[in-house]
Homo-oligomer: A and B are copies of this chain.
Amino acid sequence: MEKLRVKTGSRNEMVDITDKVSLMVKKMGIMDGILHLFVPHTTCGLAVNENADPSVKADISGKLCGLVPEAGGYNHFEGNSDSHIKAALTGSCLSLFVEEGVLLLGRWQGIFLCEFDGPREREVWLKSVRQGDKPF
């Protein structure tokens, strides 16, 4: 398992981690298989979406805050229930394809860590399952 460190800059923010993940595919030496991503946190999520126009990630983040406002009559004593709810909606894991040593994404796709309770330093865990791995 490998770990990426991701620094987020505001309470709600989608941080593009595509380049970091692609570099890790090289570093891990994955040629063909599935790359699993997982965030070990309860107030951030993972998503695949457009990273060409930066207003897309702002619109996604903004609309999630509109649907799940910070002040919502919640019971959790820490006051960040909205963060937990948005994390449940986006999800904590992704399974991505790798072939010929390259992370396969659609033309407009990037990978995002969705911060809902920043700014913080976050971790993204990566683990691969490879075609043709030697058994041991």
| B85:A42 contact, CB within 8 angstroms | no
Question: Among the listed stretches A5-13, A21-29, A123-131, which one makes contact with chain B, having 4 or more residues with CB under 8 Å of it?
Answer: A123-131
Closest 4 CB pairs of A and B: A40-B106, A55-B75, A59-B81, A42-B50
Smallest beta-carbon distance A105→chain B, Å: 7
| B132:A97 contact, CB within 8 angstroms | no
Can you tell how many copies of this chain the complex includes? 3
Whether A53 touches B40, Cβ cut-off 8 Å, given contacts A34-B127, A97-B125, A129-B34, is no
Q: How many residues of A contact B (CB 8 A)?
A: 61
Chain A: residues with CB nearer than 8 A to chain B? 1, 33-34, 36, 38-42, 47-50, 53, 55-56, 58-60, 62-64, 67-68, 72, 74-78, 81, 84-85, 87-97, 99, 104-109, 114, 125, 127, 129, 131-136
